[in-house]
Chain A
């Protein structure tokens, strides 16, 4: 009938006989659809259909491109890593490294153990620095004002400006590169030497030391210290294991003498205001106010030299002096104060102890930290007078970290032409009209001379990623010298270098391979640097060839009078550098922001540390965590103000507060990297009232003042007032003490250890094997009673896993005496194992993903329930409440905690899908593709080391700011040998399974047994103190096995019988029982 009537509907049906397919999207996006009455069931049908369609579509073979090289470089084999030796120096940290590259891209940094300074020991700031290489927030092109230009445009415009300028000033951190110095000198010569002045300053100044040494010895230098030779160390507020000078070199020296097995063990006294990383490792620690440090030094001088006052209240000066005096020539007094008077007294103490020439070398000093605060202050004044025609900023950020940044900034505005060579448009860069971005150090050729007689080489590990130019090369270009910087560096170390001789010089090639000229005798004929002072003496290893300085006493009476006249206030402030963030140049590094502070365990934040007793007295919040926010206070001093949360930090001197510098970066919304700003729960930056991204923490540099030409990092009179509002801090460990669980951390004192060290393992009083009472006559005394005990290992539900003695048994031993808690292993584990960065919001929820954490426990006045309830006459519950609190001046222990790879793993038995199983090599394996995310294993783990992927961190928008893996460029830092885990699976330490597999393959290929140390885990490899040792426990020849049978070795929580493959070694403190 329709055909007959020829209706429009029919006509349409004829023309489109086969109905056009309508895609689900199209159908669902039809605006009329909402008008139609689509019921729930229909909706489910659509959903079902689209799901099926998507599933079927996903079955198509994905097309993956595989693009080989056109011309394969000979040294590259796809899938095989290459290591290149290079050198890290950012003006603060110095390290000799080996960079692991895969298919030409750097993925991991480890220490250059064979040739490096301090055996190539690194810290977390150095090994996490790899991520900034790939940071797209870096300047990608030179700029004039806001517009990107080519290098030739920049050069031509700038050279006009530079030649027109009446005076040119170069400001930088300490430059220790002979070639860079040459380049700057060449530039100065070109522009007219009287016109150009180079000013160096260090963000965190040590000019107190150089100025004191100028007065004492006529040399404005930082001496070389050798902590490995010091039987007694007294540190007056010097954080020499954390951030003080070349701390990463001091760490192995110090740790070498902290094991009780040696012929002697260093006794370490620490006098300080806040508990630093160094203080937490000290045997004896005295908290004092910052204003009192000088007085303690004076008293110590008195006690050591026998003249003047020799005591100070609250500090056992006599004990320190006695120890020092009995170890003349083998002791060391250091001070972190930047007051030249304090440093003069310290010099005098060391002089009278005869330490110069043994533990201190002033003759062949460090070249680092040559910053001159007075020169910088003068420069700022000059700039403000409008007397600077051009200012070139080279690798430093004075607009942020100069103590008087405000007047630097007003001065900068009066400078004719300002040039920034910084990697980012940071605080300083954004205020300069010319931007000439430098290379990242992993893209550079350079030489670095950290101390007289030693030259290390920087070699690129990747071609430059962006259109940048190395800063010294820019100076050369502006000086009219077109030599490529590589050739220029070669010329410094051998005259007559020509491009044709690129590979001819074997000693150069060897130096590049080793990363250093050390050990290569550089005779005058091969090395003729323009500045002959720089490379003169044949290079030698650090501690040798220490030449004593002339003896005789120094007159320090005026210095003593000066320090004794310092008056303190009710509240005193000490500014310090955090072990993770340093002076703030790493503020944009997500790995470091997420690495907890070794003492407070706070991530992603800055805060005011205050003694818990003060916090209680002020009625501020005490037990911070997910439920309890921190109280916010305003700290005012000298007209400067910051508003920060308060963190109760055990060990802090009452009446003092501590604030870390290095925070509050990017206040002007500068593009310094996404991770430098606070991120909220939705994965976007939190903003200030004027819509600028909110910096993390606040800048404490303005509190630093200048006195007598040196910066003073402490403020003796501050006001604190509570302000409204709460603030949540993200801590990874909220517990302060072990709550009497002595089987977690075992410790003893040296005398006890020496008395019992020849006993059989398990019988010493400090490391008793746990035993259980059984209903069987074990001791065969005819009675069944509490004396009938058997070791927990004999009581087992399961048949033993056959790993002991058979095949391999991989394991770790962790020496609690050596571990200083620096956290280098944490960042090394991060980059090796692609551990996701989760950001503050998730850390607050305790969803941090660290495979390896360092537990920090403080001692308590109430170590056990029985003792506490007896002492105070309380019930058990009240006793526990007291046990939670650390002592006023507690002792600390750092305990690296990772998967213990239990042979009787509780996690394995509860997994419903057998996703976590035991290998025949003693490893607890985790098969991500099998895991369904029930999290039973995490619940059943006694060590709480399993981490659950609550989100897909590599694609969930919540993490696009914090997680480097979400950035197309930054994800190149991921290790291609390790899976990037997805949402809904459990993960944990695999004991670097990828390295084990690779190491075994190598051994099989070589047809030889595995050599001890042929491969190791990322944590053990990065550990500067050798606290973590990896190896085959079934091979009696390995260091690991030997350590595992040591009388000190034990399993954490051994009594639960899970039989881990990770051993800990009892901490032995070098103290008398009375000091415990």
Chain B
């Protein structure tokens, strides 16, 4: 249902409402009989940036309980919404009292282009409240729900637990073995002492162990060999993980959710990470970028005002009055950098984003289902739907390793030969054609029908290290 209404073109919706409006306008009470579902969309589009329906203040008084408060009749309410200055001019006492109370903090409402029928739907939604409207939408789709801890980090934790149990059990068995050996020795000695035999010499555990090992040479060396191989394999694997930071998701000073911003609200990545197409850094948005929306949106769905308050504290914004505090000592937000490359690597975002046109998710994975920033593992990246991420190249090496970079450079194709090619590459193509040597080279790299980044020099050290 929700999907249907969302996918309907606003033009059709408007036509629909215009048809109904004639018949609806004759109805007596504007707070009765509206369509709450339509009202929700309308409210979100027109009212939500200032009004809430749950009693909290966003940038104007909440509409909660408006049906009980409003005693001025339907016509005045419609006028008040469609033409506030006109309504004020009409001299209505209640509106005058509202002005006296709120004009100072919020100013005068701007005129809203909603019909009477639409107002009816909105009022139905306001009256019903978010609670009633919610259940329908929650079930349908989980595409914007953040991954759970388990989904992200899998079973790795429990495997760590079992290892500890193995160690503990091994230790217990070892202690039992040593103590039983001790007991049996003491008993033997006791028997010998009783029978007057010569006592066994007092040996250190080391000597005993060495004797025992000498006695069971083959067994010990097999075990030893096994342990050695195990250590080598495990050591090699963990050595290969040095400097690999897959799944790194540090705690951030603000519990920011990409799921809400990038997925639910469909904000483009480059709205916030705006330098990705201009600079080598994608950039972390400055607080003034946050304020573009959060000046109006003062309350979040998950953590309410606590996280958004942190932005205000950084920039010096007073949500109650909706103004910036003068002479405020601004405090920058100390984000933890997630995607760290070694100092000798020069990775330019601009050439990947602006020139190659690669989708952010090719490297950053399903960011729309993360909360704070995270280094996507290669599995997470590969698990993405090809339909979602057009042109996704599935790779095998761990993310943010050089193997991963060059694997992609070996697979990613560049168009230099077609008419649609970037003029820069067309020029390169022309140069190939100018000499026999060049033509040979061109034939060689075109053998598989395409030209990869590698074939244009993308595997050379100096392209990324300088």
Q: Which residues of A contact B (CB under 8 A)?
A: 59, 61-72, 77-80, 800, 802, 804-807, 915, 917, 919-921, 923, 925-930, 977-980, 990, 993-994, 997-998, 1000-1001, 1003-1010, 1034
Pick 9 A–B contacts, CB within 8 A, sort by A: A59-B242, A59-B243, A61-B250, A80-B278, A802-B441, A926-B462, A1003-B424, A1008-B424, A1010-B424
Asked if B330 is an interface residue, CB under 8 A from chain A, the answer is yes
Which residues of chain A come closer than 8 Å to B9, judged between CB atoms? none
Pick the residue among A71, A807, A1008 that contacts B423 (CB under 8 A): A1008
Contacts of B396-412 to chain A: CB distance below 8 A? none
Which residues of chain A come closer than 8 Å to B423, judged between CB atoms? 1007-1009
Binary A-proximity of B299-318 (CB < 8 A = 1, otherwise 0)? 00000000000000011000
Pick the residue among A806, A994, A1001 that contacts B351 (CB under 8 A): A1001
Which residues of chain B come closer than 8 Å to A61, judged between CB atoms? 245, 248, 250, 340
- Decide: A77 and B437 in contact? CB cutoff 8 A: no
Q: A71-B330, A72-B286, A928-B344 are in contact. Are A1007 and B335 (CB under 8 A)?
A: no
Q: A1005-B354, A1009-B423 are in contact. Are A977 and B346 (CB under 8 A)?
A: yes
Bound together, the chains give a CA A920 to CA B444 distance in angstroms of 15
- Decide: B461 and A979 in contact? CB cutoff 8 A: no
Bound together, the chains give a CA A62 to CA B286 distance in angstroms of 23
Binary A-proximity of B433-450 (CB < 8 A = 1, otherwise 0)? 011011001000000000
Asked if B8 is an interface residue, CB under 8 A from chain A, the answer is no
Pick the residue among B289, B431, B456 that contacts A1034 (CB under 8 A): B431
Bound together, the chains give a CA A460 to CA B358 distance in angstroms of 39
- Decide: A997 and B346 in contact? CB cutoff 8 A: yes
Which residues of chain A come closer than 8 Å to B340, judged between CB atoms? 61-62, 64
Interface centre among B343, B425, B462, by most A CB within 10 Å? Answer: B462
Interface residues on B, range: 35 or more
Pick the residue among B275, B314, B330, B424 that contacts A78 (CB under 8 A): B275
Asked if B332 is an interface residue, CB under 8 A from chain A, the answer is yes
- Decide: B287 and A77 in contact? CB cutoff 8 A: no
- Decide: A68 and B424 in contact? CB cutoff 8 A: no
Binary A-proximity of B226-267 (CB < 8 A = 1, otherwise 0)? 000000000000000011010010100000000000000000
Pick the residue among B245, B285, B465 that contacts A929 (CB under 8 A): B465
Bound together, the chains give a CA A930 to CA B462 distance in angstroms of 12
Asked if B37 is an interface residue, CB under 8 A from chain A, the answer is no
Q: A926-B461, A997-B346 are in contact. List 5 more A-B contacts (CB 8 A).
A: A61-B340, A925-B460, A925-B461, A1007-B424, A1008-B424
Asked if B359 is an interface residue, CB under 8 A from chain A, the answer is no
- Decide: B437 and A802 in contact? CB cutoff 8 A: yes
Bound together, the chains give a CA A805 to CA B442 distance in angstroms of 12
Binary A-proximity of B165-207 (CB < 8 A = 1, otherwise 0)? 0000000000000000000000000000000000000000000
Asked if B284 is an interface residue, CB under 8 A from chain A, the answer is yes
Bound together, the chains give a CA A812 to CA B306 distance in angstroms of 59
Pick the residue among A68, A997, A1004 that contacts B283 (CB under 8 A): A68
Which residues of chain B come closer than 8 Å to A977, judged between CB atoms? 346
Q: A67-B332, A79-B281 are in contact. Are A802 and B460 (CB under 8 A)?
A: no
Asked if B348 is an interface residue, CB under 8 A from chain A, the answer is yes
- Decide: A66 and B335 in contact? CB cutoff 8 A: yes
Which residues of chain A come closer than 8 Å to B456, judged between CB atoms? 807, 920
CB distance from A849 to the nearest CB of B (A): 16
- Decide: A806 and B435 in contact? CB cutoff 8 A: yes
Bound together, the chains give a CA A1006 to CA B333 distance in angstroms of 35
Which residues of chain A come closer than 8 Å to B457, judged between CB atoms? 807, 919-921
Asked if B138 is an interface residue, CB under 8 A from chain A, the answer is no
Bound together, the chains give a CA A928 to CA B464 distance in angstroms of 11
Nearest A residue (CB) for B460: A919
Which residues of chain A come closer than 8 Å to B289, judged between CB atoms? 72
- Decide: B286 and A68 in contact? CB cutoff 8 A: yes
Q: A72-B288, A997-B466 are in contact. Are A78 and B460 (CB under 8 A)?
A: no
Asked if B336 is an interface residue, CB under 8 A from chain A, the answer is yes
Asked if B143 is an interface residue, CB under 8 A from chain A, the answer is no
- Chain A interface main SS type: loop
Which residues of chain A come closer than 8 Å to B461, judged between CB atoms? 915, 917, 919, 925-927, 930
- Decide: B275 and A77 in contact? CB cutoff 8 A: yes
Bound together, the chains give a CA A644 to CA B199 distance in angstroms of 90
Binary A-proximity of B348-368 (CB < 8 A = 1, otherwise 0)? 101100110000000000000
Asked if B337 is an interface residue, CB under 8 A from chain A, the answer is yes
Bound together, the chains give a CA A921 to CA B457 distance in angstroms of 8
Which residues of chain B come closer than 8 Å to A1004, judged between CB atoms? 351, 355, 422, 424-425
Nearest B residue (CB) for A927: B461
Nearest A residue (CB) for B428: A807
Bound together, the chains give a CA A478 to CA B414 distance in angstroms of 67
Bound together, the chains give a CA A997 to CA B351 distance in angstroms of 10
Which residues of chain B come closer than 8 Å to A805, judged between CB atoms? 431, 434-435, 437-438
CB distance from B353 to the nearest CB of A (A): 10
Pick the residue among A65, A806, A998 that contacts B335 (CB under 8 A): A65
Bound together, the chains give a CA A70 to CA B434 distance in angstroms of 53
Bound together, the chains give a CA A927 to CA B422 distance in angstroms of 30
Asked if B151 is an interface residue, CB under 8 A from chain A, the answer is no
Which residues of chain A come closer than 8 Å to B344, judged between CB atoms? 928-929, 979
Bound together, the chains give a CA A792 to CA B204 distance in angstroms of 78
8 A-B pairs closest in CB distance: A925-B462, A79-B279, A927-B461, A72-B286, A66-B337, A1009-B427, A79-B281, A993-B466
Nearest B residue (CB) for A923: B462
Bound together, the chains give a CA A63 to CA B457 distance in angstroms of 33
- Decide: B348 and A997 in contact? CB cutoff 8 A: yes
Bound together, the chains give a CA A1009 to CA B430 distance in angstroms of 11
Bound together, the chains give a CA A840 to CA B270 distance in angstroms of 50
Which residues of chain B come closer than 8 Å to A917, judged between CB atoms? 460-462
CB distance from A660 to the nearest CB of B (A): 37
- Decide: A69 and B332 in contact? CB cutoff 8 A: yes
Which residues of chain B come closer than 8 Å to A1034, judged between CB atoms? 431
Asked if B91 is an interface residue, CB under 8 A from chain A, the answer is no
Which residues of chain B come closer than 8 Å to A63, judged between CB atoms? 250, 336
Asked if B217 is an interface residue, CB under 8 A from chain A, the answer is no
Which residues of chain B come closer than 8 Å to A79, judged between CB atoms? 275, 279-281, 283
Bound together, the chains give a CA A928 to CA B250 distance in angstroms of 30
Asked if B331 is an interface residue, CB under 8 A from chain A, the answer is yes
Nearest B residue (CB) for A1009: B427
CB distance from A418 to the nearest CB of B (A): 38
Asked if B463 is an interface residue, CB under 8 A from chain A, the answer is yes
Interface centre among B422, B425, B427, B465, by most A CB within 10 Å? Answer: B465
Bound together, the chains give a CA A994 to CA B332 distance in angstroms of 30
CB distance from A41 to the nearest CB of B (A): 17
CB distance from B112 to the nearest CB of A (A): 31
Nearest B residue (CB) for A59: B242
Bound together, the chains give a CA A59 to CA B314 distance in angstroms of 33
Asked if B342 is an interface residue, CB under 8 A from chain A, the answer is yes
Asked if B141 is an interface residue, CB under 8 A from chain A, the answer is no
- Decide: B465 and A979 in contact? CB cutoff 8 A: yes
- Decide: A979 and B332 in contact? CB cutoff 8 A: no
- Decide: A806 and B437 in contact? CB cutoff 8 A: yes
Which residues of chain B come closer than 8 Å to A1006, judged between CB atoms? 424
Nearest B residue (CB) for A918: B460
Bound together, the chains give a CA A1004 to CA B453 distance in angstroms of 14
Q: A66-B335, A1007-B422 are in contact. Are A71 and B431 (CB under 8 A)?
A: no
Asked if B161 is an interface residue, CB under 8 A from chain A, the answer is no
- Decide: A64 and B336 in contact? CB cutoff 8 A: yes
Q: A928-B465, A1009-B423 are in contact. Are A70 and B288 (CB under 8 A)?
A: yes
Bound together, the chains give a CA A929 to CA B344 distance in angstroms of 7
Asked if B334 is an interface residue, CB under 8 A from chain A, the answer is yes
Which residues of chain A come closer than 8 Å to B286, judged between CB atoms? 68-72
Nearest A residue (CB) for B432: A806
Which residues of chain B come closer than 8 Å to A978, judged between CB atoms? 466
Nearest A residue (CB) for B283: A78
Which residues of chain A come closer than 8 Å to B285, judged between CB atoms? 68
Which residues of chain A come closer than 8 Å to B427, judged between CB atoms? 1009
CB distance from B260 to the nearest CB of A (A): 20
Nearest B residue (CB) for A833: B466
Bound together, the chains give a CA A65 to CA B279 distance in angstroms of 19
